[in-house]
């Protein structure tokens, strides 16, 4: 028998000073504990110890030259967590907050997320403490090339397929792929999120946000409600937030906020025109990490140093970074009548916020289900690369829509008690069972 407290205290002893990793594991273990304890095949094979230990962790030094001719040193990582279902797969994050503990939490989450997509992908994550803020294009390029000079030894289209995450978009994937191609002399599907003319998939940039909205549409439908007409708060202003605002508008909902490290924008009229969406991309590509200029450009309000969760809305989509929505934020949203909280960032809510939301009975869906559309379309990019052909936007979007609906149904199947759906439990159990069963079939 596994006991939550003793398992978690062993894990903490083995992984000191990695609070995000402990938080991510605890959430999964709480969900799957009964399933594991009731299954002798899981119990007899130490499945929880095996699934929480990464297959391997690679760390490397990244040396690069800044525009003043100075030498800069960063740390690079790749956590190859679990490849029971397919090649290691997961994004690269370039952000000053990145530590090994961050990437272990993200890699662990990725295992179950990728399992939920129904596509053959294992779980991994990587990145660096490199801070893109304020860097020139040339500095970004030199950093990416130095990073790939090390990373290329450990990846390959059948081994490990990285992609983007915070701080790694189309431009960075281009520089990384360019260096891989120089070093290995092969044009292959080793990264996803590639440019359209050199192997990328249509809809990959939009996929995470589109998928989150498809998932929210299913949540609303399951509650005999509809997405249409809903007022939505979104945090962040990157790739994910961009996809969310576009698909929300298309399906008749209205997004009224976006945010950055500098504060949030409240746009009463809705962030619902091509000009506004293009402007979000422009803000992102400036490398300054601020949203304030949007207010002037479109006559919206800017609230410096604050988060969008104080605005009265029907749906909230945290779409920036882990633990961005805390207990106080959850209380504000709920007292203002929020009807759904759709976690779109990875582990976007703190544990006490989630506990409060669950007790309040406001439907809450976890990031690993909601944001799985991103990696799902990465999986579709891998298929297209392997077949050496490319699907139309409609074909990819249709597959994404179907996958998100299936993920929602899997959450309901494993998480419903007949009256209420516990999406956390549903997502964790559905994701876990497939990986655990594959691990048993593969032996150790
Ligand atoms: O968190 C994520 O799922 C991603 N950053 C995307 C990973 C991928 O391989 O497309």
The verdict on residue 435 lying in a domain is no
Ligand 1 geometric centre to CA of 372 (Å): 8
The verdict on residue 383 lying in a domain is no
Query: CA-to-CA distance for 431 and 275, rounded, in angstroms?
Result: 39
The verdict on residue 316 lying in a domain is yes
Look at residues 144, 161, 188 and tell me which one is the last residue of a structural domain: 188
pTM of the model: 0.98
The CATH code of the domain that includes 80 is 3.40.50.10860
Look at residues 344, 365, 386 and tell me which one is the last residue of a structural domain: 365
pLDDT in tens, 158-211: 999 999 999 999 999 999 999 999 999 999 999 999 999 999 999 999 999 999
Q: Mean pLDDT across the stretch 427-436?
A: 98
Looking from the CA of residue 89, the nearest atom of ligand 1 is 9
CA atoms within 13 A on the CB side of 323: 12
Chain centroid to CA 146: how far? 25
Ligand 1 geometric centre to CA of 19 (Å): 21
Q: Supply the mean pLDDT for the chain.
A: 98
Residue 40 binned pLDDT confidence (cut-offs 50, 70, 90): very high
Residue 238 binned pLDDT confidence (cut-offs 50, 70, 90): very high
Over its C-alpha atoms, the chain yields an Rg (Å, rounded) of 21
Query: CA-to-CA distance for 231 and 348, rounded, in angstroms?
Result: 20
Looking from the CA of residue 110, the nearest atom of ligand 1 is 3
CB 369 within 8 A of CB 423: yes
Q: Tell me, what's the pLDDT at 287?
A: 86
Query: CA-to-CA distance for 274 and 246, rounded, in angstroms?
Result: 8
Instruction: Identify the H or E element spanning 399.
Output: helix 393-415
Nearest to 170, CA basis, from 132, 190, 200: 200
The verdict on residue 409 lying in a domain is no
The verdict on residue 121 lying in a domain is yes
The CATH code of the domain that includes 352 is 3.40.50.720
Question: Which residues carry out catalysis?
Answer: 125
Ligand 1 geometric centre to CA of 74 (Å): 22
Ligand 1 geometric centre to CA of 299 (Å): 34
The verdict on residue 232 lying in a domain is yes
Residues in the chain: 444
Q: Mean pLDDT across the stretch 286-295?
A: 94
Residue 305 and residue 184 share a domain: no
Does residue 402 surpass a pLDDT of 90? Answer: yes
DSSP string spanning 267-288?
-TT-S-SHHHHHHHHHHHHTTS
Q: Tell me, what's the pLDDT at 286?
A: 87
Residue 214 and residue 157 share a domain: no
- Mutational test site, ligand 1, from 378, 383, 431, max ligand atoms within 8 Å of CB: 378
- Mutational test site, ligand 1, from 78, 90, 177, 371, max ligand atoms within 8 Å of CB: 90
Residue 116 and residue 246 share a domain: no
Residue 86 and residue 212 share a domain: no
Q: Tell me, what's the pLDDT at 444?
A: 93
Which distant-in-sequence residues (6+ apart) come within 8 Å of 400 by Cβ?
203, 207, 210, 211, 214, 373, 376, 377, 380
Query: CA-to-CA distance for 373 and 388, rounded, in angstroms?
Result: 22
Q: Mean pLDDT across the stretch 44-70?
A: 98
Closest residue (by CA) to atom 3 of ligand 1? 375
pLDDT in tens, 3-19: 999 999 999 999 999 99
CB 381 within 8 A of CB 189: yes
Residue 272 and residue 126 share a domain: no
**Relative orientation angle of helices 19-37 and 100-116, to the nearest 10 degrees:** 40
Residue 164 and residue 302 share a domain: no
Looking from the CA of residue 371, the nearest atom of ligand 1 is 3
Q: Where do we find the tokens 């402990």?
A: 22
Residue 181 and residue 212 share a domain: no
Domain around 333: 207-365
Look at residues 365, 381, 401 and tell me which one is the last residue of a structural domain: 365
Residue 207 tokens read as 């996929």
Instruction: Identify the H or E element spanning 350.
Output: none
**Relative orientation angle of helices 423-442 and 19-37, to the nearest 10 degrees:** 80
Looking from the CA of residue 161, the nearest atom of ligand 1 is 9
Looking from the CA of residue 164, the nearest atom of ligand 1 is 5
Pocket of ligand 1 (CB under 6 A): 89-91, 113, 163, 165, 192, 346, 371, 374-375, 378
Q: Tell me, what's the pLDDT at 138?
A: 98
pLDDT in tens, 125-151: 999 999 999 999 999 999 999 999 999
The verdict on residue 275 lying in a domain is yes
Closest residue (by CA) to atom 4 of ligand 1? 91
Query: CA-to-CA distance for 202 and 320, rounded, in angstroms?
Result: 23
Residue 277 and residue 143 share a domain: no
Residue 347 tokens read as 């582990």
Residue 241 and residue 158 share a domain: no
Tell me the CA distances in angstroms from 113 to 76, 184, 347, 440, one per residue in order.
Answer: 23, 30, 12, 19
Residue 16 and residue 164 share a domain: yes
Residue 306 and residue 243 share a domain: yes
Closest residue (by CA) to atom 9 of ligand 1? 90
Ligand 1 geometric centre to CA of 137 (Å): 23
Query: CA-to-CA distance for 300 and 20, rounded, in angstroms?
Result: 35
Ligand 1 geometric centre to CA of 163 (Å): 6
Residue 164 and residue 258 share a domain: no
Number of domains in the chain: 2
The verdict on residue 320 lying in a domain is yes
């Amino acid at each position: 028998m596994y006991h939550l407290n003793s398992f978690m205290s062993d894990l903490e002893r083995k992984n000191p000073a990695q609070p995000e990793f402990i938080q991510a594991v605890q959430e999964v273990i709480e969900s799957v504990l009964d399933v594991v304890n009731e299954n002798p095949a899981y119990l007899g094979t130490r499945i929880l110890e095996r699934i929480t230990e990464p297959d391997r962790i690679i760390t490397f030094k990244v040396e690069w030259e800044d525009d003043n001719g100075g030498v800069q040193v960063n740390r690079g990582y790749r956590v190859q967590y679990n490849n029971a279902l397919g090649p290691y797969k997961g994004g690269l994050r370039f952000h000053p907050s990145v530590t090994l503990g961050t990437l272990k939490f993200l890699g662990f989450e990725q295992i179950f997320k990728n399992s939920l997509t129904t596509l053959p992908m294992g779980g991994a994550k990587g990145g660096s403490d490199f801070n893109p803020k304020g860097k020139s294009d040339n500095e970004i390029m030199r950093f990416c090339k130095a990073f790939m000079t090390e990373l290329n030894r450990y990846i390959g289209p059948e081994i490990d397929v990285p992609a983007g995450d915070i701080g790694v978009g189309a431009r960075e994937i281009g520089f990384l792929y360019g260096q891989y191609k120089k070093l290995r002399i092969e044009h292959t599907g080793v990264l996803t999120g590639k440019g359209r003319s050199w192997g990328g998939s249509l809809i990959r940039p939009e996929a995470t946000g589109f998928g989150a909205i498809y998932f929210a549409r299913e949540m609303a439908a399951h509650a005999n409600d509809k997405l249409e007409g809903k007022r939505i708060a979104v945090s962040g202003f990157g790739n994910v937030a961009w996809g969310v605002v576009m698909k929300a508008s298309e399906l008749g909902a209205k997004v009224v906020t976006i945010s950055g490290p500098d504060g949030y924008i409240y746009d009463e009229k809705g962030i619902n025109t091509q000009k506004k969406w293009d402007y979000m991309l422009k803000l992102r590509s400036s490398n300054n990490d601020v949203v304030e200029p949007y207010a002037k450009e479109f006559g919206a309000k800017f609230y410096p140093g604050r988060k969008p969760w104080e605005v009265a809305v029907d749906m909230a989509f945290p779409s920036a970074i882990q633990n961005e929505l805390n207990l106080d934020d959850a209380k504000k949203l709920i007292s203002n009548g929020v009807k759904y909280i759709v976690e779109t960032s990875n582990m976007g809510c703190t544990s006490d916020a989630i506990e409060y939301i669950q007790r309040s009975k406001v439907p809450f869906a976890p990031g690993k289900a909601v944001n799985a559309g991103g990696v799902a379309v990465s999986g579709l990019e891998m298929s297209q690369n392997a077949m050496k052909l490319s699907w139309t936007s409609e074909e990819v979007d249709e597959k994404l829509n179907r996958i998100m609906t299936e993920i929602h149904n899997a959450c309901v199947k494993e998480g419903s008690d007949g009256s209420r759906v516990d999406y956390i439990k549903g997502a964790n159990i559905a994701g876990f069972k497939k990986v655990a069963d594959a691990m048993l079939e593969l032996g150790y």
